Structure 1
Amino acid sequence: MNASYVFRVTFRLDPSDAHVDPDTFETVLRIPAEPPGADGWLFFQQHLWRGDVADAEHMRRVAADRLAVDVVSISFSELATDEAYLTALKTTIEADLARFNADSVDEVLHQHFGSSIHVRDDGFDTE
């Protein structure tokens, strides 16, 4: 069971005793998704809304902490998942649907991920 939150990140290097050129770079950040029901599994509820980051400033800080660089911008790309993780996610959401103030699992997924869930059973890298 594998899944990752995939973000596009722009970061800046600003060394105190050197000059870098360019000083701004773009990369892809993959944050492994916790198993549904485990601590941290509600990352999507706390950080995503309608297929994008809910609070850009907060997510820049989250990314900066993980990358140890100054993050200039961040955007959500997708939840890259295998079928087993997606099935477990749906089952866990359905068991506690009231938590999400929604009428269905599909509504919850759309509220947070938009259309940015991609099932990849072809050995995608979540590391």
Structure 2
Amino acid sequence: MSGTGGQNENEDLSATYRFKVRFRLEPQTDVQLDPQSFETLLSKPASPPGEKDWLFFRDNLWRGEVNDEPHMRSRMETTLGVPIEKIRFRELRTTSSYLDTLKEAITEELDTPPTVFGNATNADNVLKKYLGSSIHVCPPN
């Protein structure tokens, strides 16, 4: 964030969690499919830091992997409406502005005990703990 007390209107505060998802189609008739399973890239918008669901990374990832694959598969089955065979976290694709704002929100959380990040000591440590090296900073759209 800028020192002017708010977000610069030119800043792109977008970020997306990206997952590789393998799903299958289960026809309700006697048709055959070949292949029956498909793999795709699922992109889920990241909530702005401090807003509802901004801690998605903490609740669902660990060291750059999905921390509870059955739970995440079930969640995505509900979202997509098809059975999910496998889901793998790929990256947090983000702008530098979003990443800076995320680090600020994490730092604020760390400064307010009890922290929701366990024994982490700084924002970089938190990001590595949950996202591993799976952060991809891209230029704004």
TM bin (shorter chain): over 0.9
Structure 1 gaps, min length 5: none
Cross-structure match for 1:99? 116
Please state how far the C-alpha of 1:85 moved relative to its aligned partner.
0.7
Cross-structure match for 2:23? 11
- Where 2:22 maps in the other structure, the secondary structure is strand
**1:37-48, aligned counterparts within 5 Å?**
37-48=50-61
Structure 2 gaps, min length 5: 1-12
Q: Is residue 109 from structure 1 mapped to residue 127 from structure 2 by the alignment?
A: yes
Q: Is residue 2 from structure 1 mapped to residue 14 from structure 2 by the alignment?
A: yes
Deviation digits for residues 11-54 of structure 1, max 9, x if unmatched?
00011113222100000000000000000101001000000000
Cross-structure match for 1:120? 138
Pick aligned residue for 1:57 from 70, 75, 89: 70
Please state how far the C-alpha of 1:8 moved relative to its aligned partner.
0.3
Q: Which moved more, 1:61-70 or 1:81-90?
A: 61-70
- Which structure is higher in helix share? 1
- Aligned-residue RMSD, C-alpha: 0.9
- Where 2:21 maps in the other structure, the secondary structure is strand
What is the total number of aligned residue pairs between the two structures?
123
**Structure 1: distance between partners of 2:131 and 2:75:** 18
TM-score, normalized by length of structure 2?
0.84
**Structure 1: distance between partners of 2:18 and 2:41:** 7
Deviation digits for residues 55-94 of structure 1, max 9, x if unmatched?
0101111111221110000000000000111011000000
Q: Structure 1 vs Structure 2: percent identity of aligned residues?
A: 46
Please state how far the C-alpha of 1:122 moved relative to its aligned partner.
5.1
Q: Partner amino acid for 1:21?
A: D
Cross-structure match for 2:8? none
